[in-house]
Structure 1
Amino acid sequence: MTVSTASPITRASVGLRSERGPILGAVMLSTALVAIDTTILATAVPAIVTDLGGFTQFPWLFSTYLLAQAVTTPVYGKLADVFGRKPLMLLGIGLFVLGSLLCAVAWSMPALIVFRGLQGLGAGAIQPSGMTIMGDIYSVAERAVAQSYVAGVWAVSAVVGPTLGGLFAEHASWRWIFWINLPLGLLAAVVLWRRFDEAATPSARAGRAERRPVDVPGALLLAAAAGLLLLGLLEGGIRWAWWSPVGVGIFVVAAALAMAFVLVERRVADPVLPLWVFRSRVLGSSMAGALVVGMVMLGVTSYVPVYAQQVLGAGAVTAGLAVAALAIGWPIAASTAGRFYTRGSFRACLLAGSALGLLGAGVVATAGPDSPVWLLAVGCLVLGLGLGYVASPGIVAAQSAVTWRDRGVATGSNMFARSVGSAVGVAIFGAVANGVVASRLGGGRAAGDVDLEALPVDVLDPALHTVFLAVTAAAVGLVAAGLLMPRRITPVDD
């Protein structure tokens, strides 16, 4: 595969590498706000409940944010192709900042939950728009390095978020979790407004000038179907039994809406999520890899800390460091992936990452009650390297296979696939853990009734070990995604 070192958009719109720095910095800052707000509330929940009440409602603080973010990501990706990346990015930052302001002055738990949903609507625009901007201003060879910075932001945020939440809640007020977003979000918006000129290339001008109707029915059907699917996966077995009327009905309605969505997309002139996306081997491989990445990452980050503390007897900090090794490996791999796929191929890069991911998951699965914590850390580090060689090159391959007018769709669909993967991982791994626990305790417990951290080691160890085996089995899907990627991709040089 031959890849140019500087695409026309690089030469025309941003020129020198230093001129792109502020744009990259603004995207990283915006991404950091989205990433930190995913986890920052975890340690502040007691303070929030004490102040506002609504203990039984607080899980919706997380679900509402994640749902609003996930279901709007593919829609915003398409809108970025229709109206441009800059307007959508600024819209996302504006919604996120407005949601943060309202969260900071929230007077009740229901109000806070609604305002978290508004934050999620903003986050849904920031993620695909930011990654699409990276695809616009950097050449194919440079995108892996640029995206490694964004991956590093997510890695650091996963560790920093809960710490900041605890500090604000203990030494100031939980409301500062949201107040701090205002100046940082406005700073990112100002930098993008002043420094990012996306109309500086012929492809961008042509894409913006072309009259493209907005597929409103398709967008609404897609958001509704995706929202019900994710809600069913996240809450099934917790708020309702899987085979209850609600548990089954929510998936039936989601499937009906998905079928209606397909019928609409076949007829409209410019669909919000074109069906050719699913027929493209490059985009299909990219989305399949992203879906498995979401599953595997969820399984490891959710259950490794519990295993380290409750089975191996490690402290909270040590357990956190063990899973943080994944966050170290990911950006390292992402930053070196560019050399890999420019000298070889995207397919070779994805297959190498798949092998590392499978190896890392296997190492984690070998842990037992007498294992040292560093064994988990090594497994997470290798797994992080593998995921880094799959996730970032997958997005770059998808962006490289389309022109400017479809790059937002390619990016948004990839990110949506990872969100779906995470939700599927929640459902599958939670059911696996609870199934083993129920069998060990003699049955009679519904999924969601079991507090894993309160179980004895002789019950918890086999339950989590089975989850790790399931994660390893899921990692085989990374290999399948890599094999699906074509051996040769001709980048669209626009």
Structure 2
Amino acid sequence: MEKTKRPLVLISVMLAMFVSAVEATIVSTAMPSIAAELGGFSKYSWVFSAYLLMSTVTVLLYGKLSDIFGRKRIFAVGMLLFLLGSLLCGLATSMDELIFYRFVQGLGAGAVMPIATTIVGDIYTREERAKIQGYLSSVWGISAVTGPAIGGVLVVTIGWEYVFWVNLPLGILSLLGVLLFLKEPVNKQKPVIDYTGAILLMVSLSTMLYLLVEGGVAFDWLSVQSVILLLASSVFVVLFVIVERKAIDPIMPFEIWRNKTILYANLVSLATGVILIGISSYLPTYVTGVMEQPAAIAGFTLTAMSIGWPLASFFSGRLLLKIGYFKTSITGGAFLVLGTLLFVLMQPSFGPLWAALSSFCIGIGMGLTSTAFIVSIQAAVSYEQRGSATASNMFMRNLGSTIGVALLGSILNSSLLRFFADNSQDYSLSSINNLLSQNTRVEMPIESLKFLQQALANSLDNVYLVTAFFAIVSFGLIFGLRGEKGVKSHVK
């Protein structure tokens, strides 16, 4: 059998990871401009929720399918769906269309990152993986750093559509590289696919997501609709747990959660997922709409977080060996608390440098905690469980982001409506669209401009208060890891 051309496959995988990672920050920077053109600010959070929901729900299923049908086939399906979604997103003429196309994009994204990582595990030996993981981490860091900058430049030069279309040539090259140069053994096994578990998980998350996004906006929190949605989501979660306990090859193996390291690390990751999406989704809105800065400057404030993350990840490995898993994690947790509190204290007059500093602290916290968790989780389980354990941590952070963008979006929208009502002003959520573009701001009466900016700033303050709450919760959860031997005893 012809051998895999590992350098070419590695380059293809790195391209796939770049495309997948850059999508998170590049769209955040462009969203104020997109909302200004397409309207529908009340549906702002759905642009993120749609993508995150589909990628979160499908990540576990794609992993199982790749074991059965091979990495190449499932990677190709995922990448083609991702590229189709990217093409359609750039052609969207309304916020509703964009949200639907983001569902398609997210459906494909669920395959790209995990299977790309799995391919590296397949073609490199255990001894080689440490070096290769360094390459992959650098790709993540580079894409996170360049995403906001690229997004800002594209928006102010050729248009927000190219924020999505920039994925097309890179994704096609990545797909061709994997199809042409990766050679897989024929898999004759026929494992059972846990379709029932995947469907129940998707329905329960979708129901809860709809409640979180629309609660307080389309219907009251204390209403019949809210109760029905909450009960339905709870029932589907219970059914999911029952099915997974009986499944021969479950999509979510619960036995790994009995490990204290995995349990607490995943719970912290759930909380940090809320923080991450809260900052990356709404910071550009604050910098653009309240501080009246262009998209490039809004991108710079997010880039500060993206610089702090890989920088902290680099030093995290050394800290793990020097001071241990718990102390490294608690240091990261402290930076998350510091960063979110700086956002709570932020005033429009402080300018984008304050926002960038706050963002940088969040990046440091994410870099220290995420690296410590992944390395320690992998050290805490056997080789046979390593894939499931790593996937569970990725799933929990994605789940946190999925819940977070819905919850925080609902808080933002309901806070704006309450501010309008308290001040007896007849504004709608769509009025905020006028703040997100320099062209529309200059045409607004000064009284309306100042009032809407105050409304947006106050409402985003509520969002930042919630992220600070989750940072404090995550900091407390890290203490559950005290006494664990963790990395220091495993990594030499």
Q: Structure 2: which 5+ residue stretches go unaligned? A: 436-448
Q: CA deviation at 1:366?
A: 2.9
Task: Check whether the contact 2:144–2:303 (CA below 8 A) recurs between aligned residues.
Answer: no
User: 1:180 and 1:212, CA in 2 relative to 1: closer, same or farther beyond 3 A?
Assistant: same
Could you report, residue by residue, the CA deviation over 1:135-172 in whole angstroms, capped at 9, with x for unpaired residues? Answer: 664545864663243243234224423543564448xx
Q: 1:456 to 1:231 in 2, by over 3 A?
A: closer
Q: Give the alignment's Cα RMSD to 1 decimal.
A: 4.2
For 1:150, give the aligned amino acid. Answer: W
1:284 is aligned to 2:263: yes
Number of paired residues? 463
The 3 A distance-change label for structure 1 pair 286 and 194 is farther
Deviations 1:178-219 (A, max 9, x none): 6654442231123234555676xxxxx9xx676531112112
- Structure 2 residue 386 is the aligned partner of structure 1 residue 389: no
When residues 344 and 84 of structure 1 are mapped into structure 2, their CA distance, relative to the original with a 3 A threshold, is farther
Q: Does 1:29 align with 2:25?
A: no
| 2:341 corresponds to | 362
Conservation of the 8 A alpha-carbon contact between 1:81 and 1:406: no
When residues 339 and 190 of structure 1 are mapped into structure 2, their CA distance, relative to the original with a 3 A threshold, is: farther
Counterpart of 2:65? 79
Letter in 1 for 2:200: L
**How far has the Cα of 1:70 moved from its partner?**
2.4
The answer to whether the 8 Å contact 2:272/2:470 transfers is: no
Q: 1:105 to 1:292 in 2, by over 3 A?
A: closer
CA contact (8 A) 2:50 2:99 kept: yes
How far residue 400 of structure 1 moved from its aligned partner, in angstroms, is 4.0
Corresponding residue number in structure 2 for 1:149? 139
Measured in 2, the distance between the counterparts of 1:468 and 1:102 equals 32
Q: Does 1:442 align with 2:439?
A: no
Find the aligned partners of 2:90 and 2:414 in 1 and give their Cα distance.
40
TM-score by length of 2: 0.77
Contact kept in structure 2, 1:294 and 1:422, CA below 8 Å:
yes
1:450–1:325 Cα change, 3 Å: same
1:475 CA drift (Å): 0.9
Where does residue 185 of structure 1 map in the other structure?
Answer: 171
How much identity, in percent, do the aligned residues show? 30
- Alpha-carbon shift at residue 386 of structure 1 (Å): 1.0
- Deviations 1:258-305 (Å, cap 9, x if unpaired)? 111111111122111111243232322332232222211223234434
Name which of 480, 485, 489 aligns with 2:486: 489
Q: Write the deviation string for residues 308-352 of structure 1: whole angstroms up to 9, x where unpaired.
A: 455555554434322321111111112332222244433332222
- Give the conservation status (yes or no) of the 8 Å contact 1:103–1:115: yes
Report the 3-state secondary structure (helix = DSSP H, G, I; strand = E; otherwise coil) of the residue aligned with 1:214.
coil
Which sections of structure 1, spanning at least 5 residues, go unmatched? Answer: 1-12, 200-204
> 1:346 and 1:59, CA in 2 relative to 1: closer, same or farther beyond 3 A?
closer
1:184 counterpart letter in structure 2: L
Give the distance between the partners of 1:347 and 1:447, measured in 2 at CA.
Answer: 49
Cα gap change, 1:179/1:418 in structure 2, threshold over 3 Å: closer, same or farther? same
Letter in 1 for 2:143: V
2:79 aligns with 93
Offset of 1:235 from its aligned partner?
3.5
What TM-score, normalized to structure 1?
Answer: 0.77
Shift of 1:67: 2.7
The amino acid that maps onto 1:351 is I
Structure 2 partner of 1:123: 109
2:262 corresponds to 1:262:
no
* Residues 144, 337 of structure 1: 8 Å contact kept: no
Give the equivalent residue in structure 2 for 1:250: 229
Pick closer, same or farther for the CA change 1:435–1:254 going to 2, 3 Å. Answer: closer
